[in-house]
């Protein structure tokens, strides 16, 4: 096998890196490293109407945060630069004209109005929405003359009328398409920018990509790209199409139902190691059905043919569980450092206090963002209460704690239960009112252990 080179080619048309692209990036990275190869990032920014300013930087930033490093790309360069399609336009023009000269493509002068009318007629007649080949009949010399005269045009792929294209997908096996059902795809637009199909083939060839691993939505595009490789006389890369991610209801993952940007999960306090681990389990099963594993472990065991073809479900609760497992496995020093990096409001000093708090909240945390919800009262009195306090119950709690022999869990519990009996109230009601008075909330870490950490003086200050 030639030196393996894989890539992802995201378009900077969204807010950030889509979780589906992150999933595909992970598989490309793991496959490349499994085979001692290289993983490349290429930015496909030729759709100028949908370009989002800053998207490219956020995409690269999210890949860096996830810990999926690339060997070549627009930010680090490489031997096949530039890695941004908008910087490669002369290449696409040159190769598109080469196809025309070889008879594998042709100039099309159809106006947008004519194409709209054509599609309406096809829809009315229940015909497939394909270009009808009108400009294919124009003699090459005549077409060239019209181009030289400045008439606006696009360049279309000339798909053979007969025959079948078959390719072997590394995940799905043999897939075939009838040429008669393949559209004469636009390759070069009137503004000089390539369409996806031309750009991706030229770039994959010039950058030496050996394996194209991408989402299954691109399967129908593969025969057009195979034709281009054949028409240019270039070596064919291998193809593998992974299933798209689904919501638990089996609908396609979309921002209408779930967060879809990597930055969404980063902002909520998910760990990059947990994100990668979970994405890996969606595509592939570790031998022995082991669920918690590193990318390095995945590289050792991964085989691309073992990727499942059924659509994997992106289960938010499963991800939360896994993230919690990673949090619980961190030592105190690492978790404190990680929490401070995530939340600037956590004091930069006071490690000893944090080390006392962590045992009370670690088991309850599923994300880093939940630390503040669980532990904010340790750093400042509550600014508001979940509900109005029962002042009689607070007084009972205060009297009981004042009578406690020592400021310890067992003595405080004994004093509160005893005082509640004397007052003829339920101890659980006293505990609840004490919790809300001290923390502002009815749910949180163990109450009396929390009071031990807060100390007697601070506790009474809050009860007053």
Q: Which residues are catalytic?
A: 255
What DSSP character marks residue 86? G
Q: What is the dihedral of CA 161, 167, 169, 170, to 10 degrees?
A: -160
Rounded distance between C-alpha atoms, residue 193 and residue 48, angstroms: 9
Question: What distance in Å separates the CA atoms of residue 161 and residue 88, rounded to the nearest whole number?
Answer: 31
Sheet containing 164-169: give its strands across: 173-178, 164-169, 238-242, 211-215
- Exposed, middle or buried by CB within 10 Å (0-12, 13-18, 19+), for 103? exposed
Residue carrying the six token digits 């999960």:
265
What's the distance, Cα to Cα, between the start and end of the chain in Å? 76
Say whether 233 sits in a helix, a strand or coil.
coil
Nearest to 59 by CA among 77, 37, 81, 44: 44
Separation CA 249–CA 263 (nearest Å): 24
Query: Counting Cβ atoms within 10 Å, is residue 78 exposed (0-12), middle (13-18) or buried (19+)?
Result: middle
CA distance 417 to 193: 77
């Amino acid at each position: 096998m030639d030196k393996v080179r894989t890539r992802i080619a995201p378009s900077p048309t969204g807010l950030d890196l889509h979780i589906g692209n992150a999933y595909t990036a992970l598989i490309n990275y793991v496959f490349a490293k499994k085979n001692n190869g290289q993983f490349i990032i290429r930015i496909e920014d030729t759709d100028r109407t949908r370009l989002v300013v800053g998207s490219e930087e956020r995409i690269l930033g999210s890949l860096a945060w996830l810990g999926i490093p690339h060997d070549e790309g627009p930010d680090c360069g490489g031997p096949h630069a530039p890695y941004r399609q908008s910087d490669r336009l002369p290449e696409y023009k040159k190769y598109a004209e080469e196809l025309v000269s070889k008879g594998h493509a042709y100039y099309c002068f159809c106006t947008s109005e004519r194409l709209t009318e054509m599609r309406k007629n096809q829809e009315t007649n229940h015909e497939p929405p394909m270009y009808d080949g009108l400009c294919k009949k124009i003699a090459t010399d005549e077409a060239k003359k019209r181009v030289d005269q400045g008439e606006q045009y696009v360049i279309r792929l000339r798909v053979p009328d007969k025959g079948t294209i078959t390719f072997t997908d590394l995940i799905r096996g043999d897939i075939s398409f009838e040429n008669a059902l393949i559209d004469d795809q636009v390759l070069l637009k009137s503004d000089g920018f390539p369409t996806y199909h031309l750009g991706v083939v030229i770039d994959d060839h010039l950058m030496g990509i050996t394996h194209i691993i991408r989402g299954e939505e691109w399967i129908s595009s593969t025969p057009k790209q195979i034709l281009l490789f054949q028409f240019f006389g270039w070596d064919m890369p291998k193809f593998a199409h992974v299933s798209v991610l689904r919501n638990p209801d089996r609908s396609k993952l979309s921002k209408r139902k779930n967060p879809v940007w990597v930055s969404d999960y980063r902002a909520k306090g998910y760990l990059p190691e947990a994100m990668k681990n979970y994405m890996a389990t969606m595509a592939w099963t570790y031998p022995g059905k082991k669920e918690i594993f590193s990318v390095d472990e995945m590289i050792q065991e991964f085989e691309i043919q073992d990727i499942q073809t059924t659509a994997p479900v992106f289960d938010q609760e499963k991800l939360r569980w896994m993230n919690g497992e990673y949090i619980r496995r961190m030592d105190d020093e690492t978790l404190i450092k990680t929490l401070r990096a995530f939340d600037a409001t956590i004091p930069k000093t006071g490690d000893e206090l944090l080390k006392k708090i962590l045992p009370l909240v670690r088991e309850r945390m599923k994300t880093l963002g939940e630390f503040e919800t669980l532990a904010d009262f340790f750093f400042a009195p509550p600014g508001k209460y979940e509900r109005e306090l029962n002042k009689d119950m607070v007084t009972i709690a205060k009297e009981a704690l004042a009578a406690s022999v020592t400021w310890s869990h067992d003595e405080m519990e004994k004093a509160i239960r005893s005082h509640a009996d004397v007052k003829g109230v339920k101890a659980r009601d006293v505990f609840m009112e004490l919790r809300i008075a001290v923390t502002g909330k009815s749910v949180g870490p163990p109450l009396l252990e929390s009071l031990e950490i807060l100390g007697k003086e601070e506790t009474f200050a809050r009860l007053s």
